[in-house]
Structure 1
Amino acid sequence: MSETIVALGEQSLLEGFPLAGVELRVAETDHAVHDAWALLPKNARVVILTPRAALALGEIRDDPRSPMTVVLPL
């Protein structure tokens, strides 16, 4: 199984990522961010987050079992 990179957050900030082979998970609300995080594929190794998505997840992304996260700059 190959490893996956996922971009999660507002569509307007992530539109170009699929062009580089990144899976896009659009989440426009805090609730949608949490739902998308819970449904990440098991092979997700890196998750690119918008600043709003990172804020919504808070400490959840610090769990050592979670994939590595990268937050886009403001």
Structure 2
Amino acid sequence: MATVAVIGETARVTGFRLAGAVVRPADTRVAARAAWDSLGDDVAVVFLTPEAAEAVGESAGERLTVVMPP
């Protein structure tokens, strides 16, 4: 079964845990990149805050990524 993950600033992503998403709070670019790299192979969809999306860059690969509005 595929999993949904959310990466970004703590204040913006914590609530997604209530919907069953894997939440990776990341308040810096380095933390966002590390959170991205730590995702398991079962993660198919990743929601990113704009700052986290900048940190991740073009490495989406097979995952569907969605960037939240600012």
TM-score w.r.t. length of structure 1: 0.87
Kindly, what percent of the aligned residue pairs are identical? 41
Give the aligned CA root-mean-square deviation in angstroms: 1.0
User: 2:3 — aligned with what?
Assistant: 4
1:27 Cα offset (Å): 0.9
Residue 39, structure 1, aligned to residue 41, structure 2: no
CA deviation vs aligned residue, 1:31-52 (integer Å, no higher than 9, x gap): 1111111110110000000010
User: 2:49 — aligned with what?
Assistant: 50
User: 2:28 — aligned with what?
Assistant: 29
Gaps of at least 5 residues in structure 1 are none
TM-score w.r.t. length of structure 2: 0.91
User: 1:19 — aligned with what?
Assistant: 18
List 4+ stretches of structure 1 deviating above 6 A. Answer: none
Take 1:32 and 1:45, find their aligned partners in 2: how far apart are those partners? Answer: 20
Task: Look up the SS of the partner of 2:55 in the other structure.
Answer: helix
Return the index of the structure with the highest Cα Rg.
1
- How many residues align? The count is 70
Gaps of at least 5 residues in structure 2 are none
